[in-house]
Chain A
Amino acid sequence: MDPLAGLLSGFAVILTPQNLYLCLIGSVIGTLVGVLPGVGPLAALALLLPVTFTLPPVGGMVMLCSIFYGAMYGGSTTSVLLNIPGEAASVVTCIDGHQMARQGRAGAALGIAAIGSFIAGTIGVVIMTFFAPLIAAVAIRFGPPENFGLMVLGLVCTLFMISGSAVKGVLMVALGFLVAAVGIDVVNGRERFTFGSVNLSGGIELLSVVIGLFGLTEVFSNVEQRLKTTVVAERVTGLWPSLADWRASWRPMLRGSGLGFLLGLVPGGGPVTASFMSYALEKRIARDPQRFGKGAIEGVAGPESANNAAVAGSLIPVLSLGIPGNPVTALLLGALIIQGIQPGPLFMTQRPDLFWGIVAGMYVGNVFLLLLNLPLVGVWAQLLRIPYRVLFPVVLLLCVVGAYSANKNVFDLWVMLAFGIGGYALRKLEYDLAPFVIAFVLAPLLEQSLRQSLVMSPDGAMILLQRPVTALLLAASAVLAALMLRRKSSPKGGGGS
């Protein structure tokens, strides 16, 4: 389907009262989780995933995507006003955004963050509109060996981009594969790692794993540090940037959009990396880099644009190839699989309504988010008055309901708790949890591709080297892996999204 015709059909899908309502709800929830420190987009998506089971696939996916990029919009509010990032991709906005607020320019910082997010989000979706079908058109010719090579490259890229020790990242990937192997082997119906347990024969539930690893660990960390968000937010005025602000910001916005989109495409990249890279780029090319850290508006415009463009970029591999590049897109992939939909090269031709509905929903969502974040920024700022001791019990209750709702089985609560405690301990030991989740989601697809490849080959594993595209992808993976292992295993930062 022609991209423009596809996009128009997508608007026909999205412009219904129900889908618009779900897009708005997703945008509101996304902004909310972005604003509130201690509740990240991944945890919010995991908690709300069961809600989408009762919704039509288009509406459910549009809502989940809106939460993802809504969090990028909302995250800047706490960064600017409190110097506390609402979510990880807004960490870098604290540096200059909060300095601007201290100089009485909170309105300009928030305004440029929202407008930059809108511009970058829109640019990202426009590129996605034309770029995703091209990738899918190429990938449609791929067979199991190529898919296997592609997934291996995706995983290696993820490992290459993670913080901390590469060996720990590799271990997390392998552990993700092992945990995903629990249950019944779909090829021959044989039970694996179930040890006779009925609860394990259905496999380990994705929701329990994600809620435990990212929802509970976040609560444990915040409770340990006694996170306080009781802040009196000052009245925010002067949201529309001045001419001087525009002059200083438009280039960083465009650069951030391009950089963010490209980094979103790379597995392991995504909004967090994009915002940091954009800040580093702006500082490096600035005529007077000493202004950075003292309230330079470029330090807000670039990263905030980059993290929003990265969202659109990161959706392309998952929708056109079925390969998630970060835990959030892994969860979106999981949501589609739960709905009985297999993303990948055929997704666009088999479910054009869903693909183009999601794309069109992103255009609409960006408009909603601009409206929600510019005029209503004062309302969001007031939410910062909610103390964490009020917030965390509600988050925990949502964790319990979210984990329970998938199978209506209390066993999933134990799984959630086990992964929560395990994830908390592993973060303390500087393990990055993102590769685990990506591997856990990808494992069935990867195993299926490997087994199909081996079945179709008379030369066994040699098929992986005999097919040129697969060989190229595996060679690229090997080069990246070699580069990664050469890096000093200096652990920095824990896991997270």
Chain B
Amino acid sequence: MLERALNVFWIFLGAAAAAYAWTLGLIGPSGPESGLFPLIAALIVMGAGIALLFSSPVVPELPRGAALLRVAGVVGGLAFMALALPHAGFAVTGALAMVILVRTAGDSSWVEAILLALASVAVVMWLFGQVLGMALPRGPWGW
């Protein structure tokens, strides 16, 4: 079922991309235009989607229960980081996200999770911020 839905998605994606590429132009007076290459790629996506629709689908082993929660925890932690990073800076966001990640996915105690989060963030900030001179996002408090 999941794969069938994905194959239909490929067909629609290919068709939409091909239609869009067509509007960019294919061949102009000075040679090939911007749409030619994407059009070819889009048509291949669409064609492959149609071909896959007629092949036997794979039944994926999807995560369930605790395994699904662990994966969702990692996705949630990263999404939180992407949302909060511009506002709270790397140090605070990283530490909070790490606690979420370690608690949900790593099965650690609260104390261990907090210590691990602080240590990870400190190491990464030292390595990238100090040693390599990379500007990591800062919060309103300046760090």
Contacts and interface: CB of A to CB of B under 8 A. Distances in A.
Contacts of A190: 24, 34
A142 interface: no
Interface in B123-143: 123-124, 128, 132-137
A410 interface: yes
B41 A401 contact: no
B55 A489 contact: yes
A226 B70 contact: yes
Contacts of A192: 21, 24, 34-35, 38
B15 interface: no
Interface in A217-233: 219-220, 223-226
B60 A178 contact: no
Contact of B48 (A171, A193, A417): A171
A185 B32 contact: no
Nearest to B67: A224
Nearest to B60: A428
Among B32, B44, B136, max chain A CB count under 10 A is at B32
B138 to A, nearest CB: 12
A178 B63 contact: no
Given A392-B105, A394-B123, A430-B58, A220 B74 contact: yes
B38 A193 contact: yes
Provide the main secondary structure of the chain A interface: helix
Interface in A156-199: 165, 167-168, 170-171, 173-175, 177-178, 181, 185, 187-188, 190, 192-193
Interface of B: 2-3, 6, 10, 14, 17, 20-21, 24, 30-38, 40-42, 44-45, 48-49, 51-52, 55, 58, 60-63, 67-68, 70-71, 73-75, 77-79, 81-82, 85-86, 90, 94, 98, 101-102, 105-108, 116-117, 120-121, 123-124, 128, 132-137
Interface of A: 50-51, 54, 165, 167-168, 170-171, 173-175, 177-178, 181, 185, 187-188, 190, 192-193, 216, 219-220, 223-226, 389-390, 392-394, 396-401, 404-405, 408, 410, 413-414, 416-417, 420-421, 424, 428-430, 443, 446-447, 450-451, 454-455, 489, 491
27 contacts: A167-B51, A168-B52, A171-B45, A171-B52, A174-B14, A174-B44, A174-B45, A177-B38, A181-B38, A188-B33, A192-B34, A224-B67, A390-B116, A392-B74, A400-B81, A400-B94, A401-B124, A401-B134, A401-B136, A404-B85, A405-B128, A408-B135, A410-B86, A413-B78, A413-B82, A420-B78, A489-B55
